[in-house]
Structure 1
Amino acid sequence: MQKTLRKITAKETLEITEQGFYINTKEERIDISEIQKAAVSGTKFYDTKELDDLLDKTNINSNNETSFEVVEETTISSIQRLTSLGFLNPMCLNFASAKNPGGGFFNGAQAQEESIARSSGLYPCQLSAIEFYETHKAMKSCTYTDGMIYSPKVLVIRKDSGEFLTYPFLVQ
């Protein structure tokens, strides 16, 4: 996707999250308003202390099996593949800008965060946790905190190409 098209897609995706629906490839109106509102209202900024406290309270069960795979695909493609394989609650780690919600997606930048922001309802969720960004903008060093933003059930509405999905899927 060329930079100009990435800019247009970013703007259009934000408009869709604000209006609460999009028209899919079958010309059906897909209402995303309630799920988008829930993702935004459920978004939480965890500062370093809260994360440490959460870890202390967590009962880690070593009976769970964890597997790893290395694949050559984008984050959006991976989430879509896992969802199609029946994984009900995929989670994505976004290597995001600590200072700018969505990174440079409005400017047509192309990296992981920008791809996710262009393809999903993530950007409004990030804006709802503005304290995360303000904290890092105020820092005088090049290093950042261990804080993070958690956004539940974010809708993915586009493929990497920018084409709308027939039906959206969710990612944590």
Structure 2
Amino acid sequence: MRRPLFSLIVALFVLFAPVSAFAVNPDEVLADPALEARARTLSAELRCMVCQNQSIDDSNAELAKDLRLLVRERIRNGDSDEAVLNYIVSRYGEFVLLKPRFSVRTVLLWGAPVLLILAGGVSLLVFARKRAGRPTGSKLTPEEQAKLSELLEKEPSARGGRD
């Protein structure tokens, strides 16, 4: 039973793993390899607005194709990488970037993990200090206290000669 299931999973992986490699159509590729490399780098940084968890370089959506063509057109026109990104962000907003820029609007986004880790550490420290001051167990009953006192008062020789 395990072998056929494993074979099916491997076959599906092999079939669908290269799907993202076919997202960029041959008619979109720039003739100059250096410009194409720049276009691929920029495309990997831009989010597909349809898929939202893929870059436009990996997506087969029509909007992703339009954005890839736009990136290549701007590069062909001589725009720098930053100018291309700024142009696309001006049209689609910061959400189009897979890695948002650090700005006043994204401070909480970038700072939240650090703040949560610090808050968790402080909480653990406070909890540990409170817990360290508490006595463990319960108090002895008067009978148990009397028996303990009796045992402690006996001489070591009375306890079996062990010392």
Same fold (TM over 0.5): no
- Give the TM-score of the pair, scaled to structure 2: 0.21
**Which has more helix, going by share of residues?**
2
**Which has more strand, going by share of residues?**
1
* Higher Cα radius of gyration: 2
- Give the TM-score of the pair, scaled to structure 1: 0.20
- The structure with higher relative contact order (CA 8 Å, sep 6+) is 1
